[in-house]
């Protein structure tokens, strides 16, 4: 690209016996990620003009494993250990959508106790995912202290998960027909209540150091603005959609599990910039802790935690009747759904996962990055909050 030298300047220069030659405008390519902290196994090729992004090309595929194809080659129960890798920070979401879909095909009525445990686990996963997000976001805008706190509080939830499920990150806990283990005892419930209260008491500190901080406002206000029509056209869901003024929440619009009985609010802002997305997420964290409190007040119903079915005696050859089902839940990234088709054998015929990051992590991200400053790239990336394995699935 060459620049035109204005005519007056050229004439002025000729008077003084000088010649001006047009210089080429320099653009350069910048490989952003996957070693950058904000991108986490994801990379963007940025065409830069000085400090501004001229064009962004998303370069995913570092975590490609072919989840959906692999799921066709494994027995029904085994798929749980595979599909949860689609969303690492909240691995309970893929477990739950797959289990819900299989439950629907088989026609099981999942016991009440299992439903309660699943709801609690989903909400715990949401809170721990928010903590993970605060850690990432705090690090991106340079407020590392808040990030370290969030990591420390997340550890408490991981400890609870470890006692309940036997794993820290990959829980492999929710299976078709219920859950794999019962609650360890009343002690665990007390610990969960303590943890919820503890994190709730710390929210004020987060507000002070991160969400009320003028640095956060300066870095995020007016950055990466998305408008409503654009968001709806690209099927953006979750907090990103609520930040542009659409009150869509799967827990309210297509309720599952115990959510019809629970009381919570859906935060909606109109601006659609990074700040709105941050504030919506902050409010949702508060609401999730409130939901957990309500669930603990409700208490676990008595009864079995797994469906009693003689077919479950032979798990590797467990056959599901022919049919198909779609189930979706609200994750911290957005609307997460799974479509399972069965042809009557012991392996699924097709498993399709509808991930939220596919919609806001590729096209939308490329669009929002146009014209952004280099320093704003991690902020936009982190406020959109994509999950790379979900894009690569």
Partner 1 sequence: MTMPARVVGEEKVKLKKSFVKPWIGIKYLFKKPVTIKIPFEKIEPAPKYRGFHTLDWKKCVGCNFCGQICPARAIEMTWLEVEGKMEKRPHPKIDYGRCTFCQFCVDVCPTGALGFTESYILTTDGTEDALELFNWVPIHPDKVRELNEAYGDYRFPVVRIEKLGDGTYRYHLRNGEVFEFKILGYGIRPPKKPTPAKPATEATANKETTKPAEKKESKPAEKKE
Radius of gyration in angstroms for the set of CA atoms belonging to the chain, rounded to a whole number:
24
Q: Which is nearer to partner 1, 252 or 352 (CB)?
A: 252
Q: Which is nearer to partner 1, 29 or 212 (CB)?
A: 212
Q: Name the residue with tokens 């309720």.
A: 255
Q: Which is nearer to partner 1, 227 or 367 (CB)?
A: 227
Give which of 94, 109, 108, 170 is closest to 338, Cα–Cα.
94
**Residue among 12, 29, 162, 343 that touches partner 1 (CB under 8 A):** 162
Q: Quote the least distance from Cβ 18 to partner 1, whole Å.
A: 51
Q: What is the per-residue DSSP string for 156-189?
A: HHHHHHHHHHS-SS----EETTEESS----HHHH
Q: What is the per-residue DSSP string for 103-124?
A: HHHHT----HHHHHHHHHHHHH
Distance CA 30, CA 122 (A): 38
Omega before 199 cis (within 30°)? no
Please report how many Cα atoms fall inside a 13 Å half-sphere around the Cα of residue 152, on the Cβ side: 10
What residues between 55 and 114 interact with partner 1 by CB under 8 A?
A: 74-75, 77-82
| Using rule CB under 8 A, residue 268 touches partner 1 | yes
Q: What is the per-residue DSSP string for 51-96?
A: TEEEEEEEE--TT---HHHHHTTS-TTTTHHHHGGGSSTTTHHHHH
| Using rule CB under 8 A, residue 205 touches partner 1 | yes
What residues between 236 and 265 interact with partner 1 by CB under 8 A?
A: 247, 249, 252-255, 260, 263-265
**Residue among 3, 214, 297, 310 that touches partner 1 (CB under 8 A):** 214
Q: Which is nearer to partner 1, 39 or 220 (CB)?
A: 220
Token pair for 343? 């042809």
Does the CA dihedral 13-14-18-23 come out positive or negative?
positive
Distance CA 281, CA 279 (A): 5
| Using rule CB under 8 A, residue 159 touches partner 1 | yes
**Residue among 208, 227, 343, 367 that touches partner 1 (CB under 8 A):** 208
**Residue among 45, 172, 298, 374 that touches partner 1 (CB under 8 A):** 172
Q: Quote the least distance from Cβ 182 to partner 1, whole Å.
A: 11
**Residue among 211, 257, 305, 336 that touches partner 1 (CB under 8 A):** 211
Segment interacting with partner 1, rule: CB under 8 A, options 89-97, 101-109, 160-168, 352-360 = 160-168
**Binding-site string for partner 1 from residue 112 to residue 151, where x marks contact by CB under 8 A and - marks none:** ---------------------------------x------
Residues forming a β-bridge with 32? 44
Segment interacting with partner 1, rule: CB under 8 A, options 18-26, 42-50, 162-170, 374-382 = 162-170
Q: What is the DSSP letter of 4?
A: P
Q: Which is nearer to partner 1, 93 or 280 (CB)?
A: 280
Q: Which is nearer to partner 1, 243 or 387 (CB)?
A: 243
Q: Which is nearer to partner 1, 113 or 281 (CB)?
A: 281
**Residue among 9, 20, 57, 315 that touches partner 1 (CB under 8 A):** 315
| Using rule CB under 8 A, residue 283 touches partner 1 | yes
CA distances from 251 to 177, 263, 265, 360 (A): 21, 11, 11, 20
Residue partners of 36: CB distance under 8 A and separation at least 6:
378
Distance CA 276, CA 236 (A): 15
Q: Which is nearer to partner 1, 155 or 343 (CB)?
A: 155
Helix (H, G, I), strand (E, B) or coil at 2: strand
Q: Quote the least distance from Cβ 218 to partner 1, whole Å.
A: 8
Contact 83, 94 (CB under 8 A): yes
Binding site for partner 1 (CB under 8 A): 74-75, 77-82, 145, 152, 155, 159, 162-163, 166-167, 170, 172, 180-181, 184, 205, 207-209, 211-217, 247, 249, 252-255, 260, 263-270, 279-280, 282-283, 315-317
């Amino acid at each position: 690209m060459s620049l035109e030298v204005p005519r007056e300047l050229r004439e002025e220069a000729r008077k003084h016996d000088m010649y001006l030659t047009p210089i080429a405008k320099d653009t350069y390519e910048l490989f952003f990620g996957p070693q950058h902290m904000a991108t986490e196994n994801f990379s963007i090729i940025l065409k830069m003009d000085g400090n501004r992004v001229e064009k962004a090309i998303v370069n995913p595929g570092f975590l490609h494993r072919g989840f959906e194809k692999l799921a066709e080659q494994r027995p029904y129960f085994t798929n749980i250990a595979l599909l949860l890798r689609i969303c690492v920070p909240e691995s309970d979401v893929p477990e739950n959508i797959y289990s819900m879909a299989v439950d629907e095909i088989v026609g099981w009525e999942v016991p009440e106790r299992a439903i309660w445990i699943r709801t609690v686990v989903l909400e715990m996963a949401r809170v721990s995912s928010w903590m993970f997000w605060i850690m990432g976001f705090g690090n991106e805008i340079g407020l590392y202290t808040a990030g370290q706190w969030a990591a420390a509080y997340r550890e408490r939830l991981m400890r609870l998960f470890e006692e309940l499920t036997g794993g820290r990150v990959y829980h492999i806990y929710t299976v078709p027909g219920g859950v794999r283990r019962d609650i360890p005892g009343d002690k665990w419930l007390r610990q969960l209540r303590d943890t919820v209260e503890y994190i709730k008491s710390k929210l004020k500190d987060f507000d002070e150091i991160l969400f009320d901080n003028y640095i956060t406002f300066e870095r995020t206000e007016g950055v990466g603005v998305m408008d409503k029509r654009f968001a709806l056209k690209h099927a953006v869901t979750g907090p990103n959609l609520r930040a542009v003024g659409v009150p869509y929440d799967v827990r309210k619009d297509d309720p599952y599990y115990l959510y019809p009985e629970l009381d919570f609010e859906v935060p909606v802002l109109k601006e659609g910039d990074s700040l709105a997305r941050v504030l919506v997420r902050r409010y949702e964290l508060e609401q999730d802790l409130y939901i957990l409190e309500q669930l603990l007040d409700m208490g676990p119903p008595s009864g079995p935690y797994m469906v009693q079915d003689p077919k479950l005696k032979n798990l590797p050859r467990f056959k599901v009747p022919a049919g198909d089902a779609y189930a979706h839940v609200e994750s911290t990234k957005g609307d997460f759904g799974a479509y399972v088709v069965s042809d009557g054998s012991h392996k699924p015929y097709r498993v399709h996962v509808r991930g939220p990051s596919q919609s806001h992590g590729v096209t939308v991200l490329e669009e929002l990055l146009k014209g952004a400053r280099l320093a704003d790239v991690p902020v936009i990336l982190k406020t959109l909050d994509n999950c790379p394995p979900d894009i690569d699935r």
